[in-house]
A and B are shown apart, each in its own frame.
Chain A
Amino acid sequence: MAVAEAELEAIRPPVRVNWTPYLLVLPTLFFLGLFFIYPMTQAIWLGITDPQSGAFTWAHFQRMSADLYFRDAIRFTLIITALAVPLQVLLGLAVALLVNSRFRGHSAFLYLTALPIGISDLAAGLIWLSIFTERGYLNAALQGLGFIQNPLIFLTYENRDWLLTAIVLTEVWRATAIVMVILLAGLQLIPRDYVETAGVFGAGRWQTLRHVILPLLRPSLQTALIIRTILAFQLFGTVVTLAGRQIPVLAGEAYFWYSIYRSPNVASAYAVLILLFSGTITWLYLRLLRIKEEEIKA
Chain B
Amino acid sequence: MAEIQFQNLWKKYGKVAAIKDLTLNIRDGEFLVLLGPSGCGKTTTLRALAGLETLDRGRILIGGRDVTSLPPGRRGIAMVFQSYAVFPHMRVYDNIVFGLRMRHVGDAEQRRRAEEVAELLQISPLLGRYPAQLSGGQRQRVAVARAIVMEPDVLLMDEPLSNLDALLRLHMRAELKRLHRELRSTTVYVTHDQTEALSLGDRIAVMKDGEIVQCASPTEIYDRPASRFVGGFIGTPPMNFLEGVLRRSNGSVAVETSGGAIPLAGVGGAAVDGSVIVGIRPEHIEVLAQPQTGSLPAEIVVAEPAGPTQLLTVQAGPQILKVTVPSDLPVQPGSQVWLRLNPARIRLMDPSTGAALAAR
Contacts and interface: CB of A to CB of B under 8 A. Distances in A.
B53 A4 contact: no
A14 B51 CA distance: 11
B56 to A, nearest CB: 13
Interface string A2-14: 1111111001001
B16 A1 contact: yes
B36 to A, nearest CB: 9
B38 A6 contact: yes
Given A8-B18, A8-B44, A11-B13, A2 B54 contact: no
A102 interface: no
A7 B41 CA distance: 12
Contact of A14 (B17, B53, B208): B53
Contacts of B164: none
Contact of B43 (A1, A5, A16): A5
Q: Which of A3, A6, A11 has the most CB of B within 10 A?
A: A3
A16 B71 CA distance: 12
Give chain A's interface residue range (CB within 8 Å of chain B).
10 to 19
B209 interface: yes
Contacts of A16: 54
A2 B18 contact: yes
Contacts of B210: 2
A2 B39 contact: yes
Contacts of B17: 1
A16 B52 CA distance: 10
B339 interface: no
Nearest to B210: A2
A1 B14 CA distance: 12
Nearest to A16: B54
Contact of B13 (A3, A5, A6): A3
B211 to A, nearest CB: 10
A2 B13 contact: no
Contacts of B209: 1-2
Given A8-B18, A11-B13, A3 B52 contact: no
Contacts of A5: 38-39, 43
A2 B40 contact: yes
Contacts of A1: 16-17, 209
A3 B19 CA distance: 10
Contacts of A7: 13, 39
A270 B43 CA distance: 59
A2 B17 CA distance: 7
Interface string B5-42: 00000000100111000000000000000000011110
Given A2-B209, A3-B18, A8-B44, 14 more contacts: A2-B16, A2-B41, A3-B16, A3-B39, A3-B41, A4-B38, A5-B38, A5-B39, A7-B39, A8-B18, A11-B13, A14-B53, A14-B54, A16-B54
13 contacts: A1-B17, A2-B40, A2-B209, A2-B210, A3-B16, A3-B39, A3-B44, A4-B38, A5-B38, A5-B39, A7-B39, A8-B39, A16-B54
Interface of A: 1-8, 11, 14, 16
